[in-house]
């Protein structure tokens, strides 16, 4: 048994699925039976749809077991650890034999996520063992200048992974060219969309990669202080960041004269945000760090000229910084070999919605949306019809199925009306109402508006009112023109990215799914059969057996009828809850 390892995924997704209980059970059995193996912790490997995950490494290879309970864990220890017999039906990933979920990993290129799921995130030694801090050591030993580092970043072609996709190297050059004596560098870990799951997973699973990327950026632009702005709702990420910062200071990767580079003094602090979506915008984020209310500021001046406390500041997000050490070690040409002409490298996506394999994936730029959904994501739950993806978070746009062969790069995605954002990809099927989806996202952005700009504050409220009215069957023929007019005015008149992109879900759904809006307005019907006020439940007489089950579960007594006789639903009383349909064993209730 010697040299065997058992590794439990203890990211937020794993813990939510019960991985903490699994770890405790394994630890207890190991102690009770005096088993000889190393028990370790790691974080999310992206396969969230199979959590809790337990990896066993022996002399034959690595075996990742999925959906493990404490009972299954005991079985794995008995058969795999003691008897050297892997339990094939529990294995979700191995190189030893094929598994049904192997497609989730095929096609992925792990750069930003290169260490997530492979190391104990609370061990700096494990990070170092996988070339961690080698980029910083290379800069020190080869005396690489700021100009050369910035040129390497430019040559790699990496663009900011937090939303707008501005060239990272160019952003760094602007800050470097400012000769002020005090400069700051900030990591934005506060994107408030599904892509924030990506930020959290990297911070929980590989915090040192972000610290090293920030330190390299600080050296490049000659900053002396850094901040990580992370929402307080990510307690595990903050805990592991604090551990990593203390470890980096103790080893000389942070502090004074870092790595023996005379005069290179740099340290990092954490600012816990209150979860305001608007603080994902860089000027609002800086205001929050300064102790002010998180509201955007007019630009110019841009942060590279006047940012945090009016000093030159560079801001990138978690994924961007996590890529930097890899680029410095492997070279810009190795990074730029992935992707398309104007969008180099890889992109991390948080897959969610009506998809079989929900989780975190990292793919080369240039892959199609269809391949992400069907090859990595495994397709639509219950094999229903793929309808659209919402790309770019609440402020992103909806891309229809017939554009699913659009490649993932900044220009191609922007051309559809969506945005790359920080990597949220919400998958929708035929049961998704696109009007209600637009209403859902508008409700979020309306609530998250800081209120500074009139059109964002009031315009999103008016749009939400119109969308709500349409989903309730009270829409007007003029509503679509009004929505488009309001959208354009909000986009053109808002100060920050939240307001400028808030109408995207509405504009794209009107563009690609106008017929659904018209059905709601003209026919008072929801084609997806989703909007409750427009639904009608009816009992099919020749299928009803009179079992009375529907009558028993109806909460408002809207169903009448005698045993063994066809029943009837009183439409005036029906609340459209759907309980009758869900309980009917004879498919005798229709929804229209």
CATH architecture of the domain 535-591 equals 2-Layer Sandwich (3.30)
The domains of the chain are located at: 5-103, 124-335, 346-429, 434-523, 535-591
| Contact between residue 266 and residue 182 where contact means Cβ atoms under 8 Å apart | no
Q: Which fold has domain 434-523?
A: de novo design (two linked rop proteins) (1.20.1440)
Q: Angle of helix 196-205 relative to helix 207-221, nearest 10 degrees?
A: 100
| Contact between residue 232 and residue 279 where contact means Cβ atoms under 8 Å apart | no
Q: Does residue 263 register a pLDDT over 50?
A: yes
What pLDDT was estimated at residue 96? Answer: 94
Residue 479 vs residues 229, 425, 437, 468: alpha-carbon distances, Å: 40, 28, 17, 11
Q: Does residue 22 register a pLDDT over 50?
A: yes
pLDDT digits (tens, 9 = 90+) for 294-308: 999 998 999 999 999
What pLDDT was estimated at residue 394? Answer: 85
CATH fourth-level superfamily of 124-335: NADH-ubiquinone oxidoreductase 51kDa subunit (3.40.50.11540)
If one looks up domain 5-103 in CATH, what number appears?
3.40.30.10
In 3D space, the residue among 66, 77, 14 whose CA is nearest the CA of residue 41 turns out to be 14
pLDDT digits (tens, 9 = 90+) for 443-470: 999 998 999 999 999 999 999 999 999 9
User: How crowded is residue 3: how many other Cβ atoms within 10 Å of its Cβ?
Assistant: 10
pLDDT digits (tens, 9 = 90+) for 63-93: 999 999 999 999 999 999 999 999 999 999 9
What pLDDT was estimated at residue 592? Answer: 85
Q: Does residue 1 register a pLDDT over 50?
A: no
Q: Which residues contact 220 (CB under 8 A, 6 or more apart)?
A: 146, 149, 150, 153, 172, 176
**Confidence band (pLDDT; 50, 70, 90) for 335?**
very high
Average pLDDT, the chain: 94
If one looks up domain 346-429 in CATH, what number appears?
3.10.20.600
> Max CA-CA distance within the chain?
90
What pLDDT was estimated at residue 194? Answer: 47
pTM summary value: 0.93
Q: Which residues contact 441 (CB under 8 A, 6 or more apart)?
A: 390, 394, 395, 505
| Separation between Cα atoms, residue 297 and residue 496, nearest integer Å | 8
Backbone angles phi, psi at 226, to 5 degrees: -130, 155
What pLDDT was estimated at residue 188? Answer: 93
| Separation between Cα atoms, residue 197 and residue 224, nearest integer Å | 29
């Amino acid at each position: 048994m010697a040299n065997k390892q058992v590794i439990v995924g203890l990211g937020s997704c794993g813990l939510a699925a019960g991985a903490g209980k699994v770890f405790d059970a394994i630890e207890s059995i190991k102690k009770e039976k005096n088993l000889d193996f190393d028990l370790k912790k790691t974080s999310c490997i992206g396969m969230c749809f199979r959590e809790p995950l337990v990896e066993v490494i022996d002399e034959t290879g690595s075996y990742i077991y999925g959906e493990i309970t404490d009972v299954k864990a005991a079985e794995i220890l008995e058969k795999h650890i003691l008897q050297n017999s892997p339990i094939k039906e529990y294995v979700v990933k191995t190189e030893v034999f094929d598994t049904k979920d192997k497609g989730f990993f095929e096609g992925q290129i792990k750069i930003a996520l290169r260490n997530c799921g492979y190391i104990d995130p609370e061990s700096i030694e494990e990070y170092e063992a996988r070339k961690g801090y080698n980029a910083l050591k290379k800069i020190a030993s080869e005396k690489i200048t700021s100009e050369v580092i910035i040129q390497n970043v430019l040559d790699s072609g990496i663009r900011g992974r937090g939303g707008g996709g501005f060239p990272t190297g160019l952003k760094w050059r602007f800050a470097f060219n400012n000769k002020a004596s005090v400069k700051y560098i900030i990591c934005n870990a506060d994107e408030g969309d599904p892509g924030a799951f990506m930020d959290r997973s990297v911070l929980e699973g590989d915090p040192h990669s972000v610290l090293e990327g920030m330190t390299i950026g600080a050296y490049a632009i000659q900053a002396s202080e850094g901040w990580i702005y992370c929402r307080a709702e990510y307690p595990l990420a903050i805990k592991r960041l604090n551990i990593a910062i203390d470890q980096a200071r103790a080893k000389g990767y942070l502090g004074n004269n870092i790595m023996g580079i005379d005069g290179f003094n740099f340290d990092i602090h954490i600012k816990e945000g209150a979860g305001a979506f608007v603080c994902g915008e860089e000027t609002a984020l800086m205001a929050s760090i300064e102790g002010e209310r998180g509201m955007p500021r007019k630009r110019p001046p841009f942060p590279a000229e006047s940012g945090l406390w009016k000093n030159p500041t560079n801001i990138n997000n978690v994924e961007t910084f996590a890529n930097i050490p890899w680029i410095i070690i492997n070279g810009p040409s190795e990074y730029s070999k992935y992707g398309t002409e104007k969008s180099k490298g890889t992109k991390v996506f948080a897959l969610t919605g009506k998809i079989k394999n929900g989780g975190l994936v990292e793919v080369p730029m240039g892959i199609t949306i269809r391949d992400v959904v069907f090859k990595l994501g495994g397709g639509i739950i219950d094999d229903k019809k793929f309808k659209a993806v919402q790309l770019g978070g609440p402020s992103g746009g909806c891309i229809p199925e017939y554009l699913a062969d659009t490649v993932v790069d900044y220009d191609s995605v922007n051309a559809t009306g969506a945005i790359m954002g920080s990597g949220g990809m919400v998958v929708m099927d035929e049961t998704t109402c696109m009007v209600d989806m637009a209403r859902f996202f508008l409700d979020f952005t309306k609530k998250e508006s800081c209120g500074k700009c009139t059109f964002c504050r009031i315009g999103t409220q008016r749009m939400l009112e119109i969308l709500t009215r349409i989903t309730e069957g009270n829409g007007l023929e003029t509503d679509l023109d009004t929505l488009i007019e309001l959208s354009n005015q909000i986009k053109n008149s808002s100060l920050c990215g939240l307001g400028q992109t808030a109408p995207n879900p509405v504009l794209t759904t009107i563009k690609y799914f106008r017929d659904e809006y018209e059905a709601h307005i003209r026919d008072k019907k929801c084609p997806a059969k989703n909007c409750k006020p427009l639904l009608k439940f009816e009992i099919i007489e020749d299928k009803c057996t009179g079992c009375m089950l529907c009558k028993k579960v109806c909460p408002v007594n809207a169903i009448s009828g005698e045993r063994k006789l066809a029943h009837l639903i009183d439409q005036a009383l029906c609340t459209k809850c759907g309980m009758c349909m869900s309980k009917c064993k004879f498919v005798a209730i229709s929804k229209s």
